[in-house]
Amino acid sequence: LDASDRERIGAGLVAAVSRATLVNIDHHNYNTRFGVVNWVDPKASAVGEQIWRFARSLEWTLPPNSLRALYVALITDTGQFSYGNTTPRAMRIAADLVAAGVDPETIWRYVYLEKTTQELALEARARMSLTYWADGRIAVIGVRDRDFAETGTDPQATAEFTNIPRSVVGALMALFFYEIEDGRATKVSIRGVRELNACKLARRFGGGGHPQAAGCTLVKPLAEAMEEFRPAAESAAEALGSAAVLPQKREKHE
Ligand SMILES: [Mn+2]
């Protein structure tokens, strides 16, 4: 589920499924169709949406845990119904799940609100790192391996960090760089607005994803990874021109 290629299902499973009938259910545009059966629907906002439709068509009654899992799939893949993939269908399925007993507040508290003191310390560092490229068209944050070490956290604590650069008024692209493998490599999360294709940019660096949300990995420490990535990001953002995305809510501070 939710894997655009065979490697994404994980090393352990790759071995296990090689002798089995592999059913590939996914919504990534560039899915390699690696299964025996492939159901790839790029119009689905989340694979949870596909599973819900599948279960409904077979008239299955799903237990509460499964309903919650489908709801989590919907809210995380749509960025709490904020990304461009937030379709009427996604919202109707969310409504169906709530009608079936899912409690949105409990899930929201658990998935988004509650943070440990360590996670908050890491977030403070991430916010402090905020910087701008291409005259503010691109907002960038970076977290180093030592930030994880010194705050006692790991990359799992960064699930929502792309919202920090995304929140900058007027930014067309949000980038979140963070070191992995003891600082030997750097992951890049790319979020785009408007016509900016985050996936196209990610694919230039061997990554992938969706038009609005994509990522890649560079085998370099953070500073070098940023340096390598920056020209491609800047030309992608500059190609969009300088027209304002939305009426500016506040004067942009220089
Ligand atoms: Mn997904």
Q: How far is the CA of 242 from the centre of ligand 1 (A)?
A: 31
pLDDT at 254: 47
3-state secondary structure of 143: strand
Residues in contact with 185: Cβ distance below 8 Å, sequence separation at least 6, in sequence order: 179, 217, 218, 219, 220, 225
Residue 111 to residue 56: CA distance in whole angstroms: 26
Q: How far is the CA of 253 from the centre of ligand 1 (A)?
A: 35
pTM: 0.77
**Ligand 1 centroid – CA 128 distance (Å):** 30
- Pairing state between β 173-180 and 138-143: parallel
Give the end-to-end CA distance of the chain in Å, rounded to a whole number.
45
Q: Which residues surround ligand 1, an ion (CB under 5 A)?
A: 2, 77
Distance 46 CA to ligand 1 centre (A): 5
Question: Could you state, in chain order, the average pLDDT of each consecutive group of 10 residues for the chain (254 residues)?
Answer: 90 80 92 95 97 97 97 95 92 97 97 95 98 94 98 95 93 96 97 87 95 94 98 92 56 53
Closest by alpha carbon to 242, among 172, 192, 190?
172
- Would you state the pLDDT for residue 253? 54
**Distance of CA 112 from the midpoint of ligand 1 (Å):** 17
Ligand 1 centroid, distance to 27 Cα (angstroms) = 7
Task: Please report the pLDDT score of residue 249 as a whole number.
Answer: 58
Pairing state between β 131-133 and 138-143: antiparallel
Query: 98: CA distance to ligand 1 center in Å?
Result: 20
The per-residue pLDDT for 122 is 98
Among 229, 246, 248, CA closest to 140: 229
Residue 89 is encoded by which pair of tokens?
Answer: 């269908």
